[in-house]
Structure formats: C-alpha cells, structure tokens
Structure 1
Amino acid sequence: MRIQHNISAINANRQLGINNNSVAKNLEKLSSGYKINRAGDDAAGLAISEKMRSQIRGLDQATNNANDGISLVQTAEGALNETHSILQRMKELATQSSNGTYQNDVDRENIQKEVDALKSEIDRISTSTNFNKINLLDGSLGAGEATGPVANVTAFGKTMNIEGLAEGTKVVFVQNADNGTDTDAVSASLSGDTLTIALTYGESTHATTATVEDVQAAIQNIAALKDAKVTGATGALTTATNGSAVGTFEATGVAKTDTSVATKATDIYSADGKIKLTSTKDGQTGIASFTFASNAAGGAEGVTVTDAGAVTINLLDAKDYSAEDINAQLKAAGVDWKVEFSGKLAGTAFDAVTGFGSSAKTVADGTGTSGSLTLQIGAGATKDQQVSLNIGNMSSKGLGLDSISVATQDAALSSIQTIEDAINKVSGTRADLGALQNRLEHTVNNLGVTSENLTSAESRIRDVDMAKEMMEMTKNNVLTQAAQSMLAQANTQPQSILKLLQ
C-alpha cells in the first residue's frame, strides 16, 4: 500500500472535473437556448448557420424593400388617377368646343381658360408627386430610348429632323410638275439607301403647299419607315411656281445621335418592311450587326456570334421558319434580340428580303444611362434580385398637351385625338404600375416563405433541443455527485494504513 500518491483520488478528481465541465456546458446551452455558442461546439455548423443568418436577414430586408416599393407604386398610381380624371374633363371640353354653336371670342375663350387651368394642374401633379423626396411623375424615372439615326435636312425653306431611318440613309427632296392635274401632293419612296420625298407643283402660278405632317405621313406609308418621325419644323413647305427642273434639296447622310438617357438599341427594319429586329434588353446589347444566311440541306443551322458582336442567323434553304423558331435560336445563343415577321418564310426567302439577304445590317446601340429606379427585392447582388421601375413624363408636355387649344372649332377637333392619346399613355403607365404592384405583392409572399423555411433550417442547426439537453444535464449532475462521493471514499483509503500500527 502507498501513501505518496492516491491514484484513486486522482482518478476520481479527474472524472469530477470532466463532469463539472459537462454540467457547465449543459447550463450554457440551456441558458442561451443555442446548441452552438462558439466555433468549438461545431465549426462546420457555425459556418453554415452564419451564412443562413445572413441570407435570412437579407430576405427580411428585401421584404421591407418590396413593401416600400408597393407604397411608392401606389403613390404614383393614385396621383395618375386624378390625372386621368383631368384628361377626361379636357376631352369633354374639347368635344364641347368642337360644336358649331359656340363663339370663338366668348364661349371658346372661356372653355380655353378651363383647359389651361387643367393643364396647369397636370403639371403641378407631375412635379409635386414624390415618395421620400423622389419625384415620380416628372420624367426623372423614365427609361428613355435610343435616339437612333437622325437626318437633318433643309428643303423648301424649312429645316427639319427625320428620325427612324437606317444609319447611312440619304435624304433627297425633289419637286415634280403635275402635268396639268393641278393637284397638291407629297409622296415618298425608298430605294437602297436613298429616301426621296417629292412635292408636286401645279401649272403656272400654282405652288404646292404641304405641311410637315404631310411629309411625315408620306414617309410612314413606306412599311420600313412606319415609325419615322419628322420634327423640328412647323408651318408649310412651298414649291416653286414654275416648271423648273427637278431640284435636289440637301442630301444629308444620317448619323447616329447619342442621348444621355438612351437605354434601348434602335430597331432594325428590312427595307421592304417584312422583317423587324428589336432589342429585348436595355442599354448596350453588345451586338454589332445581323446577317441572314441560307444553306443547303446538311449545312449549318442556328445562330453564330463572333467576339466582335457580328450575328449570323443560319437557315436551311428548304425549311420554313416562323419568328418563334428563329427567336428560340437567338435566345439559345444568348443574343438579346428578337425577330418579328408574319407567317413562315423559307430559308431561301430571307435572301430576297431587301436589306438582309447576305448583307450585314448594322446595329445602332443606345447609349447613356437610365433614370429608372431599381428596387432590391432579394438577398443577393445579381440582376434577378432586382426590379426596375420606369415612369415616363406625366406633365402636360410629356403627354403632348402643352400646346393644345380649343380656341377654334378646328383646333378643338384636332385636340380630341391628342387628348385621347394622352389618356391612353396614362392608362398604359397605370397598367405598368399595377402589374408591378401585383408582382411585388407576390415577391413579398415568396420572400416570407423563403425566410421562414431558412429560419427553420438554421434553427435545426443552431438551436438546442431543451428536453434532450435537460436529460444530459440530469445525467451529468448524477455523475458529478457520484464522482464527489468516490473522491471522498478515495481520500479515506490512506487512513486504513494506520490500522497496521495498532
């Protein structure tokens, strides 16, 4: 028997320390409610839990963001409701003034006063409607569009811009004799890269007088130029009054005009208007040109894109294609454009489409930045976690009402269509806002469900099972008490040696 080292006491003391540490951990988990209080409890579990916590908090804030977005949309849409009411009243007044039973200098003058007051109220609504000091209806949230090619031409004493032409188009104004028919006329034709606009003059002293609107209508009769606009000039264009030779007035090459709010690439039309290519995304598309190429059976089919952004749409000669067929190929190739045409065309038919065939069609990308408002509706920084809100200029100028007049019967008649266009524009904007609000409401619901499920998963990893931990603590308490008793017994063992001295 030995008394220098009480091995039994040492062992019992070590076990007592282990049990005390176990009880301390039990108490820590039970008092905090967490199974993982430090990395040493579960290093991998802690890392997973913290990532989930980050995602959950991001989702909860995204829910608040989406709700704020709904509030903003409701504010804008509510203001436009009153703008709609004002426009309906203006339509009523224009229709009233169009009636022949009113005098210009008395009745229509008074009607015009109310129209002017209503325009002022539309302007006030557009400038004063804001959410958290962010103006909503003054056009600052408008996405803008690419200005595209613009021809600046001077003819018949007028200077004007013609928008919507293909880049590189030449514009030629001519005048033609009417061969005795003595009728005013404006016509336009497109041949290759030259747009010819002809004004017909009458015999002897009869000069043709045409308006800018007449010129625009003639250009828009060409299918490929149906979206062209003539701006920057007012009044009439008047031809010479004699039989002079056909004159060429200012053939000007078209140059792309950049704009600080451009966000969309310019649409591309085939010269005969059969095919239209439109960008499906905002901003620069990264595409430089389009070419259609037909191939015999067994040849290439599909879309190829070079590093320089040249797109070739390879089609089989004997196969018929719808716009949906080609759009599927463009999407698969990652090209953010879509093609539009009616019915189906055989692969060989694209060679016959003016302006496409085997020649490349140049893309004019929009430039600049968008004024749109971006809502963060997710926990990540990717595009699919964001949604853009665009609201156009809802002022009287933005709605085309700044120069509207009902002071005469003719002016009132022409104002009716202008007001109807404004009503349709406001309706379209409200529809966009309503669609976005419904989307955001679904977003809020989805974010809530995702946050709930992630919270449940994080709880399973991080939270303690109270019943199980209490059971463990009870066991460890019993072991601690047992270790204490055994330590007391071990401490009494050396005393038995004294009995040998009796």
Structure 2
Amino acid sequence: MKIAHNISALNTANRLNKSNKSSGASLEKLSSGLRINRAADDAAGLAISQQMRGQIRGLEQASRNIQDGTSLVQTAEGGFQEITAMIHRQKELIIQGMNSTYSDHDRRNIELEIKQLTEEIDNIARRTDFNTINLLSREDYQVLEDRSSLNVDVTTTGPFPTTVTDREVYYGFYPVGTPDHPQNVVTSTTGTTTNNEYDHEARLTPIVSPDGRPGFNDYEKNVHTQTDKTATVEFTFERIWENEPKFKELDIKHNSIGDIYFQTEYVVNSTHAGQYPDFGGFWDGNTVIEIDGVPHTLDTFTVDGGNILAGSLSIFYSKDGIEIEKTMMTDGTSFTVEFKVRNQSGADDKQIRFSTVFQPRYNAIYDISSSNGVPIGSTAASADIPDAGSVFELSNELVDFEIAFLNGGSYVKPNSLMTGSAELDSIANSITTVWESADLDDGGVLEFGFSLSNFNFKKDVYRFTEEYTETIHSIVETVTTDIKDIDYVPPKVDIQTGDQENQVLHIPLFNAKSDGLGIANLSILPPADPAVSLGQTEGALSRVTNFRSIYGALQNRLEHTMKSVDNYAENLMAAESRIRDTDMAKEMMELTKSNILTQAAQAMLSHANSNPQAILQLIK
C-alpha cells in the first residue's frame, strides 16, 4: 500500500476534469447557439462559415442596391412618360394648325402652346434627378463612330415642253339671237407650282463597343422631296349655235348655274323620253298604299330614263294580298306611268288609297298655265281621280308639255290641279298623284296613271367648248437625304448586383431635352414647314419610346435579379447554419451526460482520497 501516490485519486481527478471541460463546452454552445465559437471548435468549419457570412452580407447589400436601381429606373421612366404625353400634345397641335380652317391669329395661339410645351420638356429633363444624379439631360456621350451624311440629288425630267389638253363640250341656252363666240384664249398664266413630300425614319439599336461596353446606334433618316413644275395654263372658250335635231341626238345631263341651264355631252346617240327636260328619269321617292286605312310604304321605285329608251318596263309588288303592277312606257317623245291594283286577298270591300310622288331627275321650275284661269304655281298635283276637262300645260323657261291622267281606261286632261309652294327645292319640283277606291271586291282591279307629252322647246341651243391647255416647261425634283447614324456609349449608373466583382448591371442615361429629341425648333408659322415639324415629333416619339422600352426591360431584369439574389442569400444562410449553428437537443444530451459523469467522478474521488486512511490501521 502506497501513500506517496494515490493513483486512483489521480485517475478519478483526471476524469473529473474532462467531464467538467465537456460540460463547459456544452454550456458554451447552448448559451451561444453556435456549434463553432472559436477556431479550436472546428477550424475548417469556421473558415467555410466565415466565407459564407461574407457572401451573405454582400448579397443582402446587393439586394438593397438593386432596390435603389429599380427606384432610379422608375424615376427616369416617370419623367419619360410625361415627356411622351407632351410630345403627343405637340403633334396634335401641329396637325390642328395644318388645317386651313384656322386663321393666322389662331395659329399664333397654337404656336404659343407648342413653345411652352417644348420649354417644359427641357425643364422636366433637367429636374429629374436621383440622389443628385441627373437622369434625363445627359450630354456626356462617348461617340464611337459617326457615319452621318447629307446628300442632295437634283433630277430634271423631260423632254420639254409637253402639252396636255382637257377639253369639255356642253350644250346650253342663251337668249334668242345671242351671237356666236369664236374660240380664242381667254386667260394665259405661267407659274411654278411646288410640291413637298417628307419621309421620316428613326430607331435606337443596342450595340457593344469594341472594348465590351454596352452602347447604342442612333439612326435617323429624313428625306425631303421637292418637285417644282413650271407650266403655262391657257383657257380657251367657244360658243356656237346648234340646231335642234343635233341637240336631240345627245345624252343630256342637266345641271344649273344661276339662271343658265346647260347639258354636258357624255354619250352620243341615246334618246330619252321628251328629250329635254329628261322626263324619262324619275325618282319615286314616296309610294304609299293604304289598305282599309292601314298605310304600307312600298319599296322605292327608281327608274333611270337613260335605261328606258323605246319600250316599257313593268315591276310587281304584293302587300297583304293586294297585288300592285307598275308599268313605265316611253316612245322617245312621251312618258307614261300606269298602275294596276288587284284585290287577291279573298275579301270584299277593300278600301284602297294609293299615293305616289314622282320627282324628275333634275330640279327645274314648272309653271301651270291654262285657258280657264287656273292659278300659276310650281308643282302639279291631282286630287282624287281627275275628271275630263280643259287641256292643261306644264311649262318652264325651256319647254312646254301636257299632262293627262288615266281614267276609265283612257287618258284625259284634268279640269283642276292643286298648286304647291313656289320654293325651288327637290320636293317642290315633283308631281304628286293620289287615287282612291271606296271599295274593291275580291278579284277587282283599280287602274290609274298619268302621261307627259307634246314637248315644245322655247329657246335656241348653243354648243359650248372649253379647253384647258397646260404646257409644261420643266419639272425639277430635288431630293434631300439627311442621315444621322452614330454609334455611341452613353453615361451610365452601375448597380452592383452581387457579392463578387463584375457582377454589375449598367443603367444607361439619355438626353431627353428638346435638342436631344430633335424638337427644339418645332413651329407651324412661316418660314417653318409644319410637315417638317410633324416629322420631328414622330422621330421624338420614336426615341422616347425606345428609351422607355429599354428602361422597362431593365426594370423587369432588376426585379428578377433581386429575386435571384434573395434566394441565393437564403440558401447560403441555410448552409452556413448547418455548419456553424449548434444542435440544441444534441448538446443538451451531452451536457446531461457530462453532468452525470462529473457527479460520479466527484463521488469516486472522495472514495479514492479515503483509501490511504486504511494504513492507519496497520500503525495501531
């Protein structure tokens, strides 16, 4: 037995120290929540963890950078949006000022608003800043290559002179005995007319500079084509008396200027009913049949006398069992319209009232004249079925003719006519007819109609010849082609979007002032050409639209970049946690184990220290 060295106590003390150390380590991990509190805990794990922590913090800052970049793009795009609205307004004002309905005073007021909008575009461009960084009025571009050009081509077409003649022949009426007018030059004018045409094209295309920097190609093409035509225009006039047979061979189109009636020679050798006026053509503008007091408007009957020469044409309609047949006839000297209304309804005592308004194709004044003193008026109309009576004639200043109505199977002249308004209009120049039947039995027929005949011309006919002769001396075409074609690198704002170098997104900055957009000199007043200003607004809109498209794409890219960075940081945090964070449950188990071992070691150390006391028994 030894007392100099208590090996059991030493061994137990050593175990107790280890348990205390293990318990202390567990307490440190549990209190800090970290598995690695010092390099000694896990040197390799600490190195990996620290590197990941640097990445995480860098990515978190990159996410904030991207948010700032998004805010910058939104600020710039907001300025572009308002500039776009003002350019649209300027374009609207220019188009308004190009309308000839506005006076010079109106155009000056329009010009004032255009200038005010230009100034405000410049103000917005200068004021749009982000953290004192100007966004919309940057002029510090680096030009890589300038291929702009200006070319003027002058072309003279020929050979000259050349002559073009426009000849018109028509027939009209002058007072009897008007002398002939020989063909001679009435006017002769020499001058130059200028025609301007403009073509505009503009685009902004992304490029990459030779050293890898992002840039743009600014392309704009303006083509101005000016055509100057120098010519002499002569007006020649002739008036010659024509006999009536020649006049009747023409297809006559009736027009009027003041009190002079004339016809233009379009087609030769076609005959119309009644020659002139052209009674072969009527518009049946309002045809109504009343059946037992119920009105029915029939489809419009339209007959062109130029299509009905000699012969007849019949049209059929049916309404509620009432059949209607309309027949129009002409022999070249008279015009007849007849109606047959048949009751095929199966019922007796049908009350029929039929009215129609015939209007000649041409407006003219027709006066009623008769030997029994019927008043003079402008329109002829019959009331009910006309009775036989005196002969009536309708006339205007050019022709007389007779009117008769179908009654009892034969045509008779009316003994009374209603007269309408003397006002010259399309309704006054019409023939209104009304027929009635008190009762029409089943199978019964109502017949009626009217005829125009016995035409008599009252004036001499003259042939008029007008010629417009244009002698072209020269046509000079000047084409000015102005091309802007520049490759450049714009100033930019760099957004650090990651935790490593070269993880950068470049936001280009543009010049949106009026001079940069090409609209600094918009004007609709002389000497400026409004058409040029209109083209300039189109180019400015194209530029601003390109700028906004670039910024819209950048904003979408920034949003996706931020989502990617946030996901990356989140995954790194999870990985770093698995390396460095402590497993609390596991450490609690280790702490419990260490505590139990510490208590056991303390008990055993007490026993080990008491073992040498047994030697005292030997000394007794």
TM-score, normalised via structure 2 length: 0.47
Cα contact 1:56–1:454 (8 A) shared by 2: yes
Find the counterpart in structure 2 of residue 436 from structure 1. Answer: 554
Is 1:11 matched with 2:11? Answer: yes
| Structure-to-structure mapping, 1:187-266, within 5 angstroms | none
Match of 1:377 among 491, 494, 497: 497
Counterpart Cα distance in 1 of 2:102 and 2:111: 12
Find the counterpart in structure 1 of residue 569 from structure 2. Answer: 451
Cα contact 1:36–1:463 (8 A) shared by 2: yes
Deviation at 1:280, TM superposition (A): 4.9
Unaligned runs of 5+ in 2: 162-193, 216-485
**Tell me, what secondary structure is at the counterpart of 1:65?**
helix
Find the counterpart in structure 2 of residue 292 from structure 1. Answer: none
The one-character-per-residue Cα deviations of 1:194-242 (angstroms, maximum 9, x if unpaired) are xxxxxxxxxxxxxxx9x9x99xx9xx9xxxxx99xxxxxxxxxxxxxxx
Find the counterpart in structure 1 of residue 47 from structure 2. Answer: 47
Find the counterpart in structure 1 of residue 129 from structure 2. Answer: 130
Counterpart Cα distance in 1 of 2:119 and 2:588: 74
Match of 2:145 among 134, 142, 147: 147
Give the number of aligned pairs: 321
Is 1:426 matched with 2:353? Answer: no
Match of 1:399 among 480, 505, 517: 517
**Tell me, what secondary structure is at the counterpart of 1:41?**
coil
Counterpart Cα distance in 1 of 2:508 and 2:558: 15
Deviation at 1:175, TM superposition (A): 9.6
Unaligned runs of 5+ in 1: 151-161, 164-170, 183-208, 221-225, 228-263, 265-277, 287-335, 337-364
Find the counterpart in structure 1 of residue 209 from structure 2. Answer: 282
Match of 2:578 among 460, 468, 483: 460
**Tell me, what secondary structure is at the counterpart of 1:398?**
helix
Cα contact 1:109–1:407 (8 A) shared by 2: yes
Residues 462 and 73 (structure 1), Cα distance of their counterparts in 2 relative to 1, 3 Å cut: same
Find the counterpart in structure 2 of residue 204 from structure 1. Answer: none
**Tell me, what secondary structure is at the counterpart of 2:40?**
helix
What amino acid is the match of 2:108? E
**Tell me, what secondary structure is at the counterpart of 1:482?**
helix
Is 1:481 matched with 2:479? Answer: no
Find the counterpart in structure 2 of residue 322 from structure 1. Answer: none
Cα contact 2:16–2:602 (8 A) shared by 1: yes
Counterpart Cα distance in 1 of 2:155 and 2:87: 44
Find the counterpart in structure 1 of residue 97 from structure 2. Answer: 97
The one-character-per-residue Cα deviations of 1:369-427 (angstroms, maximum 9, x if unpaired) are 75111111111102xx2111113210111110111112249622221121122112111
The one-character-per-residue Cα deviations of 1:292-323 (angstroms, maximum 9, x if unpaired) are xxxxxxxxxxxxxxxxxxxxxxxxxxxxxxxx
Counterpart Cα distance in 2 of 1:96 and 1:501: 133
Is 1:63 matched with 2:63? Answer: yes
Cα contact 1:138–1:393 (8 A) shared by 2: yes
Higher Cα Rg: structure 1 or 2?
2
Cα contact 2:80–2:548 (8 A) shared by 1: yes
What amino acid is the match of 2:43? A
Deviation at 1:21, TM superposition (A): 1.0
Counterpart Cα distance in 1 of 2:117 and 2:559: 34
Residues 423 and 481 (structure 1), Cα distance of their counterparts in 2 relative to 1, 3 Å cut: same
Find the counterpart in structure 1 of residue 172 from structure 2. Answer: none
**Tell me, what secondary structure is at the counterpart of 2:515?**
coil
What amino acid is the match of 2:208? K
Give the CA RMSD over aligned residues. 3.7
Counterpart Cα distance in 2 of 1:147 and 1:103: 46
Cα contact 2:58–2:499 (8 A) shared by 1: yes
Counterpart Cα distance in 2 of 1:24 and 1:426: 69
**Tell me, what secondary structure is at the counterpart of 1:3?**
coil
Find the counterpart in structure 1 of residue 87 from structure 2. Answer: 87
Residues 366 and 283 (structure 1), Cα distance of their counterparts in 2 relative to 1, 3 Å cut: farther
Counterpart Cα distance in 2 of 1:119 and 1:379: 44
What amino acid is the match of 1:103? S
Counterpart Cα distance in 1 of 2:144 and 2:536: 24
TM-score, normalised via structure 1 length: 0.58
What amino acid is the match of 1:479? L
Deviation at 1:85, TM superposition (A): 1.2
The one-character-per-residue Cα deviations of 1:1-49 (angstroms, maximum 9, x if unpaired) are 0111111111111111111111111111111110011111111111111
What amino acid is the match of 2:109? N
Find the counterpart in structure 2 of residue 121 from structure 1. Answer: 120
Counterpart Cα distance in 2 of 1:370 and 1:399: 15
Find the counterpart in structure 2 of residue 312 from structure 1. Answer: none
Residues 174 and 443 (structure 1), Cα distance of their counterparts in 2 relative to 1, 3 Å cut: closer
**Tell me, what secondary structure is at the counterpart of 2:589?**
helix
Counterpart Cα distance in 2 of 1:473 and 1:12: 19
Counterpart Cα distance in 1 of 2:490 and 2:617: 100
Counterpart Cα distance in 1 of 2:154 and 2:69: 57
Counterpart Cα distance in 2 of 1:282 and 1:47: 41
What amino acid is the match of 2:48? I
The one-character-per-residue Cα deviations of 1:337-361 (angstroms, maximum 9, x if unpaired) are xxxxxxxxxxxxxxxxxxxxxxxxx
Find the counterpart in structure 1 of residue 507 from structure 2. Answer: 389
Counterpart Cα distance in 1 of 2:507 and 2:616: 94
Residues 449 and 97 (structure 1), Cα distance of their counterparts in 2 relative to 1, 3 Å cut: same
Deviation at 1:58, TM superposition (A): 1.1
Deviation at 1:471, TM superposition (A): 0.4
Residues 458 and 181 (structure 1), Cα distance of their counterparts in 2 relative to 1, 3 Å cut: farther
The one-character-per-residue Cα deviations of 1:65-108 (angstroms, maximum 9, x if unpaired) are 1111111111111111111111111111101111112233x221
Counterpart Cα distance in 2 of 1:33 and 1:430: 51
Deviation at 1:176, TM superposition (A): 10
